[in-house]
Structure 1
Amino acid sequence: MTVDRRTVLRSTARLAALGAATGVTAACGDSGDPPARTDPGPEQSTGTAAPSPSPPATPVGSPTAATPAPTVAPSLPPLSPTTPVEVVNGPRDRPQVALTFHGQGDPALALALLTAAEQHGARLTVLAVGVWLDQQPQLARRILDGGHELGNHTQNHLDISRMPADQARAEVQQCADRLLRLTGSIGRWFRPSAAQYATPMVREQARLVGYEHCLSYDVDPRDYTDPGAEVVQRRVLKAAIGGSVIALHMGHRGTVEALPAILTGLAEAGLSVVTTSQLCA
């Protein structure tokens, strides 16, 4: 009995020594040491070696955890050579309108709105706020996969017209960076935040980032004041004509509830809902 225990102990010791030599461990689920850092850390800049800390766990639902693999942005139709630097409306002789949406708010409302549009064969233009894309990166792909158009509505949705030029450009650039990372394109359209029209300064900063056209609108039902679905519907249908660019907001339940009736009413008036690029092609 004693001989057997010694034999087992000797075998165990040999296995442990073999494991140490080969780097194999007996711990279940151990993924080994973290990969070596490729970026210079603070400890490297001083020339003093320091152990790399374990990377923090990424919270569920954080932008890093939820960021989808980049998708390829769809090709856009070329714009008419007469398209102005700032688009307020499209050609009045076409039976088409563009429904444009401030991209922010409850993702469930955004998904409901996209689904309702697609059920009616409508294609929307979503001007996304950068911090919303940080929180809901999967929606960038969802918007494009639905045949809709995606553009830039600044990073933080502040009053861009009152900013110094460099701060205004940063607001445009930061959102553009997120669009590029998520979709492969910065999008065609930039809409200024907290303003219907872009000032000359804002237009210039947008141009420096890569936006040749700013997007305004000629129909504003003020759905962001939450007047109720019936009021939103009535205001849109009363004002919309061929070529209209209509400003709406994703994060408001009344807008989602109004959309099916809006789409039905526009169709009865002989107006189809297309993306802004299609409207201005």
Structure 2
Amino acid sequence: MTTSAEDHAAPAPPRRAALLTGLALTAGTLAAGATAGCSAPRTSRPHDLTTPPAAPSAPPTATRGASAPAPAPRRYPGRPAEITNGPRTHPSRVALTFHGQGDPAVAKAVLGEAEKAGARVTVLAVGTWLDEYPDIARRILDGGHDLGNHTLRHLDINAMTETEAAAEIRGCADRLRRLTGSIGTWFRPSRSPRASPLVQRLARDAGYPHTLSYDVDSLDYTSPGSAAVTRKVLAEVRPGSVVSLHFGYAGTVAALPGLLHELDRRGLGAVTTTELLS
């Protein structure tokens, strides 16, 4: 579907209008470091695939300490190796999934807005992002959200050799385990909506029974504007949908209040992917 940043969205509900405007302005100043979307591979420098950054030698200060470990991946009998959506028979649930990278202030704004609306989301974090902002892992989990693995460096994992791809999956899993006590609830491939058969196998070997794809792509990483993001998702979402979104984009932050309001009006609660499949 082709969208345009010049199109107009429906007016935001009065009680959210001020917050939407404030978030849009805040995100606009922070989106300069936004990441590219996963469906648009980039060319890596030669050393990107041969010298992964070393993991921190000691647990960062954000480690959960005495807290219970974060949830671990679960096996869903009868579900495919790669999950694109939840049950269509449950009429009231969808999962909003966010690719975790970019300015943490934008990420925290997204999480805060979701929580104010009573929504819970799934965050697939990039390992090097966790290295740079280790406290974000606890922030995500303490908000009641899912936290998963989106590879170590967010490169085109389907184009890698077996050794390289395994290092990307396990590198992020190691960081999640160090920060939370678990490798995370889900694995999603980087730079592609779907995992190759090799990457699916490597993910299983690393402890992820299923890879997580999606059936609705917001295309927010193309920066089409909040109206286009909202319109794209609402045109395609249905019960059981898994929606792909990204941290770090002004349009995503600005779209979220109105998007959550309209999902609620349709009777579709935004839950974690784990809840969606429960």
Unaligned ranges ≥5, structure 2: 1-55
**Equivalent residue for 2:244?**
247
Deviation at residue 207 of structure 1 after TM alignment? 0.9
Aligned mate of 2:194, from 189, 193, 197: 197
Unaligned ranges ≥5, structure 1: 1-61
Deviation at residue 80 of structure 1 after TM alignment? 4.3
TM-score normalised by L of structure 1: 0.75
Counting only pairs closer than 5 Å after superposition, residues 248-267 of structure 1 correspond to structure 2 as: 248-267=245-264
User: Aligned partner of 2:159: which letter?
Assistant: R
Superposed CA RMSD: 1.9
Give secondary structure in 2 for the equivalent of 1:150. Answer: strand
Counting only pairs closer than 5 Å after superposition, residues 176-195 of structure 1 correspond to structure 2 as: 176-195=173-192
The one of the two structures with greater contact order (alpha-carbon pairs below 8 A, sep at least 6) is 2
Counting only pairs closer than 5 Å after superposition, residues 1-281 of structure 1 correspond to structure 2 as: 67-70=61-64, 71-75=67-71, 80-94=76-90, 95-281=92-278
For this pair of structures, how many residues does the alignment match? 220
CA–CA distance in structure 1, aligned partners of residues 60 and 175 of structure 2:
14
Deviation at residue 114 of structure 1 after TM alignment? 0.3
User: Aligned partner of 1:219: which letter?
Assistant: V
CA–CA distance in structure 1, aligned partners of residues 138 and 214 of structure 2:
25
CA–CA distance in structure 2, aligned partners of residues 106 and 64 of structure 1:
24
Distance 1:162 1:78, change over 3 A: closer
Kept in 1, the 8 Å contact 2:154–2:191? The answer is yes
Deviations 1:210-264 (Å, cap 9, x if unpaired)? 1111000000011001111111011111110000000000111110111011100
CA–CA distance in structure 1, aligned partners of residues 192 and 117 of structure 2:
30
CA–CA distance in structure 1, aligned partners of residues 245 and 95 of structure 2:
10
User: Aligned partner of 2:130: which letter?
Assistant: L
User: Aligned partner of 2:234: which letter?
Assistant: L
Deviation at residue 67 of structure 1 after TM alignment? 3.2
Deviation at residue 167 of structure 1 after TM alignment? 0.6
CA–CA distance in structure 2, aligned partners of residues 187 and 68 of structure 1:
16
Distance 1:239 1:63, change over 3 A: farther
User: Aligned partner of 1:272: which letter?
Assistant: G
Highest Rg: 1 or 2? Answer: 1
Q: Which runs of 4+ in 1 moved over 4 A?
A: 62-66, 74-80
**Equivalent residue for 2:25?**
none
CA–CA distance in structure 2, aligned partners of residues 153 and 75 of structure 1:
16
Kept in 1, the 8 Å contact 2:126–2:152? The answer is yes
Deviations 1:72-110 (Å, cap 9, x if unpaired)? 334479664222211000101112100000000010000
CA–CA distance in structure 2, aligned partners of residues 212 and 105 of structure 1:
28
Give secondary structure in 2 for the equivalent of 1:189. Answer: coil
User: Aligned partner of 2:94: which letter?
Assistant: V
Kept in 2, the 8 Å contact 1:87–1:213? The answer is yes
